[in-house]
Amino acid sequence: MASGVEVLRFQLPGHEAATLRNMNQLRAEERFCDVTIVADSLKFRGHKVILAACSPFLRDHST
């Protein structure tokens, strides 16, 4: 570590779980959805960035 540099660590317990809950709620309300996946007669609205982050296949096949 460089001399004179102070490192500040910020922690927010539960932030990850709360963020996932909030993103799922937005999806359930179809807010900010920018993609629809269709399989047979089923349609699933979602967020490209979330799908791309979770699936290399979807990341490579989305525009």
- Other Cβ atoms less than 10 A from the Cβ of 13: the count is 7
Enumerate residues 6+ apart whose C-beta is below 8 A from 1: 7
> Residue 50 is which amino acid?
I
Q: To which residue do tokens 């960035």 refer?
A: 49
Q: Contact, 62 vs 48, CB < 8 A?
A: yes
Helix/strand/coil for 63: coil
Cα–Cα distance, 30 to 33 (Å, whole number) = 6
Q: In the chain, what are the domain boundaries?
A: 32-63
- 2 confidence band (pLDDT: 50, 70, 90): low
Look at residue 3 in the predicted model and tell me its pLDDT: 74
Helix/strand/coil for 9: coil
- 1 confidence band (pLDDT: 50, 70, 90): low
pTM: 0.65
Q: What is the pLDDT of residues 14-59, one digit of tens each?
A: 999 999 999 999 999 999 999 999 999 999 999 999 999 999 998 9
